[in-house]
Amino acid sequence: EFAARTYRGPYDTTEPASRMADITGYNNYYEFGTDKADPARHAGALRTRPWTVTIDGLVRKPQTVDIDRLQGQFPLEDRLYRMRCVEGWSLVIPWLGFPLAALLRRVEPTSAARYVKFTALADPKQMPGVRSPILNWPYTEGLRLDEAMHPLTLMAVGLDGRILPNQNGAPLRLVVPWKYGFKNIKAVVRITLTAQQPATTWSRAAPDEYGFYANVNPAVDHPRWSQATERRIGELGRRKTLPFNGYGAQVAGLYKGMDLRRYF
Amino acid sequence: MLPVAVLVYDALTGGLGANPLQRAEQQTGLLALALLLLSLACTPARLMAARFGQRLLWPARVRKTLGLGAALYAALHLGIYLLDRGAAPLQFLQDALKRPYITVGLLAFVLLIPLVLTSRKDSVRRLGFARWQALHRLSYVVAALAALHFWWSVKKDHTPPLMAAVVLAALLALRALKKPAR
């Protein structure tokens, strides 16, 4: 629908993309249920148009924009990224979207802005999972401003050249490929620039298990399981998990001098 | 045995989804726990029936089959876990010691072994009923460990392991009816 699918840019992996049936059928999206098949089953009913996104907080130009206008403002790019779930599995996903940096530049963060907070839709009428208090709804996530401005950080609106399926976070979702998948908040309705580190859903749910940074790190285990290996969906054996999910050359500098065991 | 057939069929036809080993691991684990709880429900069922003047014989007959079924699925569950991890024995031992949910699960499995070994027809006679019965009370410990293992292995939604624990507690409570009934 949108664009030619080309994945030969500097940010694309050369690994083969995962099967589309796996990308759209094996999802963690607790707003639609905790089973991996629940999102594909229940997300179809979500109305993604009309949809507005509010960008506010420490910015000079706060605004509420219609999703179609928003995605029309930036050239869309194909990005073939690895996605590593904190549960120990991974996929290679052909996203389509625009860099978050482009959006942030447009709203002009003030010098006080240091973090970006994301808020997802939480509508119990459309999202059966939101009716049970499994997590603190709405789902919120956050990035440090320099992480948000990194060229790898993408706001995805499409998948494999087509409009994003609902179970993958339509109409707008975050993609930060060097962090565990739960950072990639779906169905974003608000982006807020803040001075303080925002509370995030999973770190509130289990602070000893899920940190704010959540960088993929084979050396720091989840308290209950190892993060040293992962199953690439579609493969029978397990592969070694790479630091920063293999994006260390691009992003390790963001964390220079930080103790990544403490800031997990 | 039927679930094994279904599992094999699903595995061959892609019915286990995108992450088949994990799905098979979860299904066998769940079946092991369910069969174990069912085997533990036999005596309370008989006692309850006795309270209402009914003498039920079938619970005692199916109990052994259910218990052995639980052990079979527990073995499959452990086997699939080892397969999933690439079965490096040293790493498995490391994992078992380092991660409480694996320690507890492995302990539950190990405690099942003497129960399987003393499930033969002549075991009761050879051990003497009192000793045999004392040994087989271990099944409650196994079920409690299995429920804890289940609880710790779940990422967020603790409803299913909680249900297992509640069922187990209820079965234990029902056994207390035994004495007043006499």
pLDDT in tens, B102-147: 999 999 999 999 999 999 888 989 999 999 999 999 999 999 999 9
Please give the single-letter amino acid code of residue A184.
N
Residue A28 lies in a domain: yes
Residue A120 lies in a domain: yes
**pLDDT mean over A154-169:** 97
Distances (CA, A) of A121 to A2, A41, A130, A191, B129: 24, 18, 10, 12, 62
What single-letter DSSP state applies at residue A249? H
Residue A8 lies in a domain: no
Q: Is the per-residue pLDDT at B43 higher than 90?
A: no
- What is the span of the domain harbouring residue B133? 2-181
**pLDDT mean over A83-96:** 97
pLDDT of residue B181: 46
* Rounded-to-integer distance, Cα B146 and Cα B165, Å: 9
**pLDDT mean over B30-42:** 95
| Total number of domains in chain B | 1
**Residue that has been written with the tokens 């940096």 in this structure:** A101
* Rounded-to-integer distance, Cα A220 and Cα A203, Å: 16
**A222 interfaces chain B, CB cutoff of 8 Å:** no
In a mutational test of the A interface, the residue from B10, B102, B156, B162 whose CB has the highest number of chain A CBs within 10 Å is: B156
Give residue A81's region: left, alpha or beta (phi > 0; psi -120 to 50).
beta
**% helix / strand / coil in chain B, to the nearest 5?**
80, 0, 20
Work out the percent of chain A whose per-residue pLDDT is above 70: 98
Nearest C-alpha in B relative to A89: B19
pLDDT of residue A75: 95
| Vertex A81: Cα angle to A78 and A83 (nearest 5) | 140
Q: Is the per-residue pLDDT at B151 higher than 60?
A: yes
Q: Is the per-residue pLDDT at B179 higher than 70?
A: no
Q: Is the per-residue pLDDT at A49 higher than 70?
A: yes
pLDDT of residue B87: 62
Compare CB distances from A226 to B17, B95, B152 and report the shortest one's residue. B95
Compare CB distances from B17 to A34, A36, A238 and report the shortest one's residue. A36
Q: Do A225 and B99 touch (CB under 8 A)?
A: yes
Residue A263 lies in a domain: no
Q: Do A237 and B86 touch (CB under 8 A)?
A: yes
- How distant is the Cα of B20 from the closest Cα of chain A, in angstroms? 9
pLDDT of residue B182: 43
* Rounded-to-integer distance, Cα A156 and Cα A168, Å: 10
Kind plus residue range of the DSSP H or E element containing A232: strand A229-232
- How distant is the Cα of A189 from the closest Cα of chain B, in angstroms? 24
Q: Do A224 and B95 touch (CB under 8 A)?
A: no
| Total number of domains in chain A | 1
What single-letter DSSP state applies at residue A169? T
In chain B, count H helices and then E strands.
10, 0
* Rounded-to-integer distance, Cα A164 and Cα A41, Å: 16
* Rounded-to-integer distance, Cα A104 and Cα B99, Å: 42
Q: Is the per-residue pLDDT at A81 higher than 90?
A: yes
pLDDT of residue B156: 81
Cis peptide before A138 (omega within 30 of 0): yes
Asked if B121 contacts B65 with a C-beta cutoff of 8 angstroms, the reply is: no
**B101 interfaces chain A, CB cutoff of 8 Å:** yes
Q: Do B19 and A26 touch (CB under 8 A)?
A: yes
Residue A60 lies in a domain: yes
Report how many Cβ contacts below 8 Å link chain A to chain B.
Answer: 43
Q: With contacts defined as CB-CB under 8 Å, which chain A residues touch B101?
A: 224
Best CA proximity match to B164, nearest among B30, B27, B23: B30
Best CA proximity match to A11, nearest among A234, A251, A229: A251
pLDDT of residue B177: 67
Nearest C-alpha in A relative to B151: A224
| A227 band by pLDDT with thresholds 50, 70 and 90 | very high
Residue A251 lies in a domain: yes
What's the mean pLDDT when you consider all of chain B? 88
pLDDT of residue B127: 92
Task: Lowest mean pLDDT of A94-98, A232-236, B107-111, name the range.
Answer: A232-236
Q: Is the per-residue pLDDT at A177 higher than 60?
A: yes
**pLDDT mean over A46-59:** 98
- What is the span of the domain harbouring residue A204? 20-255
Work out the percent of chain B whose per-residue pLDDT is above 70: 95
What's the mean pLDDT when you consider all of chain A? 96
ipTM value: 0.79
Best CA proximity match to B28, nearest among B1, B49, B56, B50: B1
Q: Do B157 and A225 touch (CB under 8 A)?
A: no
Residues in chain B: 182
Helix (H, G, I), strand (E, B), or coil: what is residue B100?
helix
Residue A3 lies in a domain: no
pLDDT of residue A4: 62
Distances (CA, A) of A168 to A21, A96, A196: 12, 12, 29
In a mutational test of the B interface, the residue from A224, A227, A233 whose CB has the highest number of chain B CBs within 10 Å is: A224
Model pLDDT for residues A178-210, shown as the tens digit of each residue: 999 999 999 999 999 999 999 999 999 999 999
Phi, psi torsion values for A128, nearest 5 degrees: -60, -30
> Which DSSP string corresponds to A50-108?
S-EEEEEESBSS-EEEEHHHHHHSS--EEEEEEEE-TTSEEEEEEEEEEEHHHHHHHH-
Half-sphere exposure of B25 (CA within 13 A, CB side): 15
